[in-house]
Amino acid sequence: MSERPPPLHRIPPAIAAVEDYRPFARERLGEAAWAYFDGAAADETTAADNRAAFGRLRLAGRVLADLAGGDTALTLFGQTLAHPIVLAPVAYQTLAHPDGERASALAAAAMGGAMVVSTQAGLTLEEIAAATPAPLWFQLYIQTDRAFTRRLVGRAEAAGYRALVVTVDAPVSGVRNREQRAGFALPPGVEAVNLRGLQAPPAAAAGRIAFGTPLLEQAPTWRDLDWLRSITTLPILAKGILCADDATRAIAHGVDGVIVSNHGGRTLDTLPATIDALPAVAAAVGGRVPLLLDGGIRRGTDVLKALALGASAVLIGRPYVYGLAAAGASGVAHVLQILRTELELAMALTGRRRLADVDATTIWRG
């Protein structure tokens, strides 16, 4: 087996678009790690449709607009960001690059953006926070051990995290056949370090598959959002909403933001593409809280389409992991630079000077 090439020290001209990083990342990741980061659930239909759905939308070009003084700045939860592209929570980033989440956080800071740190990060939430001035949000899986979960929240608060992003769409993992075929397992030295000390739930009784197991019997419910709201003053975002009724209910239970997401197609296959689900959720939210979209972003035009259909910002996952695997912090920063450049050009060519000017008329209706 040939040795994999080291991370890039210079970005080659061949990398002109975000997707150009993908083959460079593939060369630097083993089969199992590639299956983990690039793969999705079952037949990976939803993962593919997340991207394809953006291609079904067309933008409405506008001419002779006054573009003087334009920018992409916004304020989210009291934080001023240079652009509406947030790094999504991705677990085990030290599997992609030795610097892991530290490199991603540094890149977010360099590009004036924010990052959501995974509960299952390969580095402690404290050392990631200490490495960067970027606004950091903490992604939280509510554990079966609620006391442990409370301590995680306290650690995030003490480390200066600005918001909690609660993943609500994954009480169990999806059927990840690509990982199964590749025999994925975490190698020595890679672990969810922030979960050290967490006691595993009791083993399932004989004959039980999912229902009736401790994992599902103790899975989070709407009551846990109420509980979480009672133990923290940080803004809470619910990530994993696809249904308008769920968005309305989440707001009623005290969340401060909603993230339309299907977990990158990694949980239940054949869910709708997030950009297809966005308009109905946006209508239900009605501007009461910020609305973000996660899933399928590969171009600045994708970002613009999401904003036009009601999102305040977007999250990216796989694209920056490709950059991380290929070139470390420089690769992640370059991914953000590419997307922001493409967004600004798309805004200019659709006559939109600022993000507040982006609305439904940005989409061509024929």
Cα 20–Cα 26–Cα 29 angle in degrees, nearest 5: 140
Helical axes 300-308 vs 318-349, angle rounded to 10°: 70
Interacting residues of 39 by C-beta distance below 8 A, sequence separation 6+: 176, 178, 179, 266
**Residue 28 structure tokens:** 């630097």
Please state, in angstroms and rounded to a whole number, the distance separating the CA atoms of residues 298 and 320: 10
**Cβ contact 271:294 at 8 Å:** no
Ranges of the chain whose pLDDT falls below 50: 1
- pLDDT value of residue 213: 85
Distance of CA 187 to the CA centre of its chain: 24
Task: Check: CB of residue 288 under 8 Å from CB of residue 42.
Answer: no
pLDDT at 2: 54
* C-alpha angle 39-40-45 in degrees, rounded to nearest 5: 120
Strands 257-260, 85-87: pairing is unpaired
The DSSP element (H or E) to which 74 belongs, if any, is strand 74-76
Each domain of the chain, given as residue ranges in start order, spans 19-59+70-185+214-362
Tell me phi and psi for residue 301, to 5 degrees. Answer: -65, -30
Q: Which candidate, 116, 15, 109, 9, places its Cα nearest to that of 322?
A: 15
Question: Sign of the C-alpha dihedral, residues 95, 96, 101, 102?
Answer: positive
- The vertex-344 CA angle with 52 and 347, nearest 5°, equals 75
Q: What is the pLDDT of residue 31?
A: 97
Closest listed residue to residue 178, CA positions, set 36, 322, 50, 51: 36
Provide the CA 150 distance to its chain's centre, in angstroms: 23
For 19-59+70-185+214-362, the fitting CATH number among 3.20.20.70, 3.40.1020.10, 1.10.287.10, 3.30.497.10 is 3.20.20.70
Catalytically active residues are 263
Q: How far apart are CA 256 and CA 220, in angstroms?
A: 18
Q: What is the largest CA-CA distance in the chain?
A: 70
The pLDDT assigned to 1 comes to 45
Beta strands in 220-302 (DSSP E): 236-241, 257-260, 291-294
- Global pTM? 0.97
